[in-house]
């Protein structure tokens, strides 16, 4: 970390230690008063309506007595993200369901149809396997950091803290933009899904209905988001498991078409469009897997991250295996990539392109297609809900770090980043473009802004995890004080960076030379606009703040303490050692369960 001239490098450690041991942190009753939603209702009298109105007023916390006069901007951002007053109201059950089914949505239920067409069943499976493994590396590394530092903005704050503030600004902004664009597109997807049953009502009406539903959920704060995702995720998980069971039955000959087996792997074939077809699956897979990192984003709003986050992180392995890999296999057996219904879907928002519905219809099952379509509607609402949550929390984190206007960091007495939520809701009104003939073109260019953003974010998370480990070694500290250690260790982050980097190269290749078309300048910009935007953003930020003299934070200067909820490091070491010794004495099957669950 770069210190101002005349600043004692050890003073930040002293200030951080003072902060961690201050009454604001040690007094659990007071720090949780607003997190339980009772801050304003207990401290203010009046009617229920009055208390509701008061909840929108800014949170009024006592100063922690930290002198920030001589701190660098990065030091201030670390302290600010650690003490940001988001409500800690997410319970373990919320986090578990967010981890298992939180982002299962249009990417899997609908976008997988386009991926199947582009790459064939083998291409779809390979693409999901590669992206799935890289996501496992990402979430394990991110889980290690989030358990250690459950701060506002999570991985966005880690970019600033462990790498560089220009990284934090650029990647945080790209990530927020991804969710920002996703919200109106999910509203449009809701209206398109309804058209499976009703085509007489103007789709803009359905956009309005679901807009009100999603906005209302997020006005209830993180508890509203958590409860909604808990029940919506249960529905999605049950539906996917049910589909897998029905799919196996249809493959074995239960449906009208008789025994299917591996018929479609031979005719029309396992691959479509060759290696380029496999590369084209990656973008679809990114949209399918996108949102898994929301578990870590919710770290600052979780009551007990040290206990609940490791469990939620380990659930991702089962989620990837069951809900993505097995689904890709079943779809590849049930739907040929040249199915006319599949080909008629010309976008990821076209419900007719859902291979789930096509597979069940092909099996001759009359009622299930309607049930599956209802599940798809639930999934779309869920992802729209997550879009508001993910964007608003990222914007609030960027604001509290001083990377965007501070007004976005406004937190009310119920612990809601209200300005960021309202801004996200405002952009969501773009969903009414569904009534326009050119809405497809508009959203194509909107998505081009964040086309590769997911891959850049995931690469940055893996690199940040490596920087965290390197900083521990550089400062003579060990993993003995790390509450949750990634099962894949640094190997996972190295291999994750390698695979994700190769995927980005492949995406650039097929964007310059599209499948079956000559080299296209327009296609390249539509698929890869986020790459030059990222480079321009980093350069502009460094130029504006004149920080070209520092490419990255020095490992010796990385702050390894501020933001912990476990303030006594020695006590934490002893607790971790006791837990590991207890685990070592347990039978093999319990060790196996603990490793994966």
| Separation of alpha carbons 316 and 492, rounded Å | 14
pLDDT for 449-460, tens place per residue? Answer: 777 888 999 999
- Confidence grade of residue 580 (pLDDT, cut at 50, 70, 90): confident
pLDDT-derived band at 37, boundaries 50, 70, 90: very low
Q: Are residues 500 and 586 in the same domain?
A: no
The answer to whether residue 48 sits within a structural domain is no
Asked whether residue 582 falls in the same domain as residue 469, the answer is: no
Q: Is residue 248 part of a domain?
A: yes
Q: Are residues 318 and 446 in the same domain?
A: yes
Strand partners, 58: 412
For residues 548 and 542, the answer to whether their CB atoms sit within 8 Å is yes
Distance CA(107)–CA(323), nearest Å, equals 12
Q: Say whether both 281 and 389 belong to one domain.
A: yes
What domain range includes position 386? Answer: 87-513+520-566
Tokens of residue 174, six digits: 């790209």
Let me know whether 506 and 589 are in one domain. Answer: no
Are 38 and 415 in contact by the 8 Å Cβ rule? The answer is no
- Number of domains the chain contains: 2
CA distance 461 to 91: 25
Q: Is residue 44 part of a domain?
A: no
Q: Do 508 and 592 fall within a single domain? A: no
Higher pLDDT, 573 or 282: 282
Q: Is residue 448 part of a domain?
A: yes
27 has a pLDDT exceeding 50: no
| Of residues 192, 221, 191, the one with CA closest to residue 206 | 191
Q: With CA atoms as reference, report the closest residue to 147 among 563, 573, 480.
A: 563
Judge if 546 and 582 occupy the same domain: no
Please report the pLDDT score of residue 22 as a whole number.
41
Q: Please, which pLDDT band fits residue 345 given cuts at 50, 70 and 90?
A: very low
% of residues, the chain, pLDDT over 90:
23
Q: Are 589 and 503 in the same domain?
A: no
Provide the pLDDT for residue 429.
93
- Asked if residue 310 and residue 400 are part of one domain, the reply reads yes
Residue 152, domain CATH: 1.20.1740.10
Instruction: Examine the domain organization and report whether 190 and 95 are in the same domain.
Output: yes
pLDDT of residue 284: 83
Query: Which residue did the predictor score with more confidence, 133 or 302?
Result: 133
- Give the residues across from 302 on adjacent strands: 90
Find the distance separating the first CA and the last CA of the chain, reported in whole Å.
Answer: 36
Q: With bands split at pLDDT 50, 70 and 90, how would you rate the model's confidence at 14?
A: very low
Do 436 and 375 sit in the same domain of this protein?
yes
Q: Which tokens in the block code for residue 406?
A: 């501070």
Q: How confident is the model at residue 148 (pLDDT cuts 50, 70, 90)?
A: confident
Tell me whether residue 241 is in a domain. yes
Residue 157 pLDDT level (bands cut at 50, 70, 90): confident
| pTM: predicted TM-score of the whole model, two decimal places | 0.81
In a domain, 350, yes or no: yes
Residue 289 lies in a domain: yes
Which of the residue ranges 3-17, 95-109, 435-449, 490-504 would you say has the lowest mean pLDDT?
A: 3-17
| Residue 456 and residue 390 share a domain | yes
Tell me the pLDDT tens digit for each residue of 38-72.
Answer: 333 344 456 655 655 555 555 544 444 555 566 65
| Residue 417 forms part of a structural domain | yes
């Amino acid at each position: 970390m770069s210190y101002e001239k005349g600043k004692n490098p050890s003073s930040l450690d002293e200030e951080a230690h003072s902060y961690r041991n201050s009454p604001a942190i040690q007094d659990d009753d007071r720090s949780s008063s607003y997190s339980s939603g009772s801050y304003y209702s207990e401290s203010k009298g009046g009617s229920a309506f009055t208390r509701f109105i008061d909840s929108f007023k800014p949170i009024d916390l006592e100063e922690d007595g930290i002198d920030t006069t001589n701190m660098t901007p990065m030091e201030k951002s670390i302290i600010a993200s650690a003490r940001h007053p988001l409500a800690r109201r997410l319970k373990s059950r919320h986090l578990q369901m967010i981890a298992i089914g939180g982002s299962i949505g249009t990417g899997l239920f609908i976008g997988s149809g386009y991926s199947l067409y582009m790459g064939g069943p083998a291409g779809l499976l390979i693409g999901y396997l590669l992206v799935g493994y890289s996501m496992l590396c990402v979430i394990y590394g991110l889980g290690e950091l989030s358990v250690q530092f459950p701060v506002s903005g999570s991985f966005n704050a880690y970019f600033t803290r462990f790498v560089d503030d220009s990284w934090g600004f650029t990647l945080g902004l790209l990530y927020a933009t991804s969710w920002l664009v996703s919200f109106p597109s999910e509203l449009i997807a809701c209206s398109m899904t309804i058209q499976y049953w009703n085509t007489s009502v103007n789709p803009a009406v359905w956009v309005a209905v679901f807009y009100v539903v999603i906005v209302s959920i997020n006005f209830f704060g993180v508890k509203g988001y958590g409860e909604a995702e808990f029940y919506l995720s249960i529905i999605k998980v049950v539906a996917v498991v049910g589909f897998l069971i029905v799919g196996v039955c249809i493959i074995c000959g239960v449906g009208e078409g008789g025994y299917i087996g591996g018929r479609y792997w031979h005719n029309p074939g396992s691959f479509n469009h060759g290696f380029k077809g496999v590369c084209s699956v990656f973008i679809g897979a990114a949209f399918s897997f996108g949102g898994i990192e929301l578990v870590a984003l919710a770290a600052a709003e979780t009551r007990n991250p040290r206990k609940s986050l490791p469990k939620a992180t380990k659930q991702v392995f089962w989620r990837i295996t069951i809900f993505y890999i097995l689904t890709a296999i079943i779809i590849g057996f049930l739907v040929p990539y040249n199915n006319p219904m599949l080909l008629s879907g010309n976008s990821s928002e076209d419900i007719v392109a859902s291979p789930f519905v096509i597979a069940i219809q092909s099996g001759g099952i009359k009622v299930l297609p309607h049930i599956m379509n209802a599940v798809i509607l639930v999934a779309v609402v869920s992802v729209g809900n997550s879009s508001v949550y993910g964007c608003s929390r990222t914007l609030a984190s960027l604001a509290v770090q001083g990377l965007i206007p501070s007004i976005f960091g406004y937190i009310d007495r119920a612990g809601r980043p209200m300005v960021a939520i309202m801004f996200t809701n405002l952009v969501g009104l773009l969903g009414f473009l569904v009534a326009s003939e050119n809405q497809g073109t508009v959203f194509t260019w909107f998505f081009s802004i964040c086309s590769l953003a997911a891959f850049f974010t995931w690469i940055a998370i893996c690199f940040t995890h490596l920087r965290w480990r390197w900083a521990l070694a550089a400062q003579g500290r060990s993993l003995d004080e790390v509450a949750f250690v990634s099962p894949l260790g640094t190997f996972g982050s190295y291999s994750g960076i390698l695979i994700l980097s190769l995927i980005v190269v492949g995406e650039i290749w097929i964007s310059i030379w599209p499948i079956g078309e000559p080299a296209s300048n327009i296609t390249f910009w539509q698929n890869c606009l986020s790459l030059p935007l990222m480079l321009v953003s980093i350069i502009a930020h460094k130029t504006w703040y004149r920080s070209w003299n520092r490419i990255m934070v020095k490992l010796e200067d990385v702050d390894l303490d501020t933001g912990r909820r476990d303030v006594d490091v020695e006590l934490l070491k002893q607790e971790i050692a006791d837990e590991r010794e207890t685990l070592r004495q347990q039978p093999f099957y319990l060790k196996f369960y603990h490793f994966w669950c």
